[in-house]
Amino acid sequence: MNVLRASGRSLAGILVVGVLTAACSSGGGAAPPATGAPSGPGVSTPPDGTVTSPPGGVAQDPGSGAPNGGFVVAKPGQLDIHPVAIDSFAARVDGSTIVVTATWTSGVEPCNTLDSIKVDPNAGTFTITIFEGHGAEAIACIEIAQVKKTEFEIPTGGPGTYTLVDGRGQAPPLQVTIG
């Protein structure tokens, strides 16, 4: 019968190798995280300094997640355009023109870019549909939502009450009266 026995010398060698391996892989030279800062795998400590503006120098509205307070302009020519549901409308009257602000939630550019706005008039009702698409860049798109707004004008026939309707049916209709 064969019996396998470990000698004291080989067991000590295995322990030393294990301790050295653990010590080398623990990152002994890294500075400890600041008190109260998150720590653990995948968490890094930010560099010292203050960020005064995001990359590109465009100020952001802290609540919107999009440059310029969330306002975007149409960039026609996007690929794979599709209608996007509007969350809400706001409007003001300028003479006989309705100035509309449409707000919706979508992904970030260039993966979700405003392509165009279609306004279908029909007996005092304007059905508004927002179309988004993506650019020609071949990039990975992150899945993060952002509130977007756009402003556009609808010329009317003059005094009257007009209703703004979302072409996708999500936003509540908004009535605007021109006196």
The per-residue pLDDT for range 88-97, each reduced to its tens digit, is 999 999 999 9
AA letter at 139 = I
Note the pLDDT of residue 91.
Answer: 97
Comparison of pLDDT for 78 and 13, the residue scoring more: 78
Note the pLDDT of residue 100.
Answer: 97
Note the pLDDT of residue 176.
Answer: 96
Percent of the chain with pLDDT strictly greater than 90: 56
Report whether pLDDT(141) > 80: yes
Task: Give residue 80's pLDDT band: very low, low, confident or very high (50, 70, 90).
Answer: very high
Report whether pLDDT(131) > 60: yes
Round to whole Å and give the CA distance between 131 and 146.
Answer: 16
- Cis upstream peptide for 159 (omega within 30°): no
**CA dihedral sign, ordered 78, 82, 86, 87:** negative
Note the pLDDT of residue 11.
Answer: 38
- Residues 6 or more apart in contact with residue 153 via CB below 8 angstroms: 94, 97, 98, 99, 100
Is residue 150 a contact partner of residue 106, using CB atoms and an 8 Å limit?
Answer: no
Task: Give residue 36's pLDDT band: very low, low, confident or very high (50, 70, 90).
Answer: very low
